[in-house]
Structure 1
């Protein structure tokens, strides 16, 4: 039985198969990996991840907290600086072993396709359901704790969450390796708040002579992550909420450009990729319209809080914009997002 009778306007549901869980990531094929490999000329690598304890605190998102490291334990014994002679008098070994409590989308991250869904009448019966890309359903394919405000969740009480479909492990298996294309919005528009619609994006592309091709991973530098680093774990929310360029998810022409471009992923160094809150509109609407268009309609994964300064400066100095990008998320089954350590190779 089909999961949907009608799909959202402008979506690509079903175009990669009825059970597809990768969306536009399918466009990163063998030839795209080879295109990325051909960009390796200097043999230099750049780490595009922030330290995963940044931004620091939880003023940017009260739901997300910094990682907490602790020793693993055997009964009540913590295994950090543990001399094995306590178990065997002849042993000279000392063991350290730790674990982490980690918000999957606290710092440098990927959003999986299970991150943002929508209320949409996929059955064509006049009633909207909670669903995700390609018609996957809340309570069936993406489950979480049930309470009075969560219709369609799949478990009772304070239970676990699980993206049984669309989990981030699908991206890990795919590899997320191919050609990255960097657009340096900070260089063109500065670090004041600038809404980037199709006009502004085309302006930056034309000024730098950048061509974006089907299957590329588009990477946007705004300078936001650099400001986060400078704040050294004490983020100033008032400054950051208005810092740097951000995509205007209410610009229909920009959304159409994303659809037509064929990009396989959209990565940025800022929080949310798009400007939030979005420009005011009337009627039923997505509060995160770019997330809605990319994750829900196109199956186009988003990445946030990448650190791009060193790569951007090197590319600019060498008259380049393309590079090999390797950015697999954690292969953690059923996770909705994932920290990532992207590596650019030039």
Structure 2
């Protein structure tokens, strides 16, 4: 067995020893029917930003805007390419392209392989790189480098191509995004319009503030629902037209306070199956309040709680303004959400073009 002890407050094993779907197991036929029952107007809304937003890499230096280029054959670009060059007499003209894309650059899903934790799953006093349901780094989630465990010494990664394969490739052999693609990620969703209640000022949203926003907007969450949070962040990103002002973005709009234990407990108790926001990380990152005593702690406590402990996928940078305005006008908060990620085996995250139908 991959683990002998599970993290406190986790649901490891509740859906089976080899489960890779976590709480999305609760999205079944009943949730789809509930979502379909919310379709009354026959209106659909695209909840994706253009995938070349936010622009540049100032928000995350590791993630770069997509780069489109033609496919090639014999060093020839296949854009506006007359097939008569290779098939004499042919009248066809072909354009064909490819993309270099950071999978979590814009509107996205996080898989459970995105954030794990250093955890003693065997109860032998040794911390190991561990992901949801006890899946392990370097065995189930592979990378070309063994980063070792954090210490106070200088960071010196070492090659671990033996674990990742001779090519040094990386992939999630378990917990990859393809599991959510096969699941479909379709069912009833609930919008909590935080921006409509609190505005777009910089602030942390804990349990009390979230409950207030739900009361004011009339939003209720039942087990199996996907929860969608509007803070106004994506609208601000769009207004910058691919020239993001990092300082302004990092000092505007609300974000969940992942360090609020009551908020994390509500996520556990509510039975929600996915947590989605229009901002960069769902939670405040970096957190404004972190332990200073040197003890182990999560820099992304909400990510750890959702992805590592409960198997709740996170969605980030979704575009919600048009949907939110229409739902507000109709005095509604629920809708049918259809949001499968790419069925790309081994991927850690995925761009997504979610569709809300009301």
- TM above 0.5: yes
Aligned to 2:130: 131
1:284 pairs with 2:281:
no
SS at match of 2:327: helix
**Among 197, 216, 219, the residue aligned to 2:228:** 219
Aligned to 1:177: 186
Aligned to 1:9: 8
Q: Contact 1:138/1:152 (CA < 8 Å) preserved in 2? A: no
Q: 1: CA distance between counterparts of 2:158 and 2:275?
A: 29
Q: 2: CA distance between counterparts of 1:70 and 1:322?
A: 40
CA shift for structure 1 position 151: 9.1
Aligned to 1:62: 61
1:25 pairs with 2:24:
yes
Aligned to 2:74: 75
**Among 269, 289, 294, the residue aligned to 2:306:** 294
Indicate the larger mover: 209-218 or 335-344: 209-218
Q: For 1:107-146, what aligned pairs fall within 5 Å after superposition?
A: 107-146=106-145
Q: Contact 1:84/1:92 (CA < 8 Å) preserved in 2? A: yes
Q: 2: CA distance between counterparts of 1:149 and 1:297?
A: 27
**Among 157, 162, 166, the residue aligned to 1:149:** 157
Q: 2: CA distance between counterparts of 1:78 and 1:184?
A: 46
CA shift for structure 1 position 157: 8.2
| CA pair 246-150 structure 1, distance change in 2 beyond 3 A | farther
Aligned to 1:168: 177
Q: 2: CA distance between counterparts of 1:250 and 1:53?
A: 31
CA shift for structure 1 position 156: 6.7
Q: Contact 2:171/2:347 (CA < 8 Å) preserved in 1? A: yes
Aligned to 1:186: 195
Aligned to 2:151: none
1:200 pairs with 2:209:
yes
Aligned to 1:91: 90
Q: Contact 1:222/1:245 (CA < 8 Å) preserved in 2? A: yes
Q: Contact 1:146/1:156 (CA < 8 Å) preserved in 2? A: no
Q: Contact 2:130/2:137 (CA < 8 Å) preserved in 1? A: yes
SS at match of 2:281: coil
Indicate the larger mover: 149-158 or 131-140: 149-158
CA shift for structure 1 position 260: 0.2
The one-character-per-residue Cα deviations of 1:138-169 (angstroms, maximum 9, x if unpaired) are 01100001244369882378721100000000
SS at match of 1:70: strand
SS at match of 2:164: coil
TM-score of the superposition, structure 1-length normalised?
Answer: 0.98
SS at match of 2:275: strand
SS at match of 2:343: coil
Q: 2: CA distance between counterparts of 1:96 and 1:121?
A: 53
RMSD (Å) for aligned C-alpha atoms: 1.3
CA shift for structure 1 position 60: 0.2
| CA pair 183-133 structure 1, distance change in 2 beyond 3 A | same
Segments ≥4 residues shifted beyond 4 Å: 150-153
Aligned to 1:315: 327
What are structure 2's unaligned runs of at least 5 residues?
A: 147-155
Q: 2: CA distance between counterparts of 1:150 and 1:40?
A: 53
TM-score of the superposition, structure 2-length normalised?
Answer: 0.94
SS at match of 1:134: helix
Number of residue equivalences: 345
Aligned to 1:275: 284
What are structure 1's unaligned runs of at least 5 residues?
A: none
Q: 1: CA distance between counterparts of 2:167 and 2:303?
A: 27
1:254 pairs with 2:263:
yes
**Among 229, 233, 238, the residue aligned to 2:238:** 229
Q: Contact 2:193/2:217 (CA < 8 Å) preserved in 1? A: no
| CA pair 27-232 structure 1, distance change in 2 beyond 3 A | same
Q: 2: CA distance between counterparts of 1:240 and 1:127?
A: 40
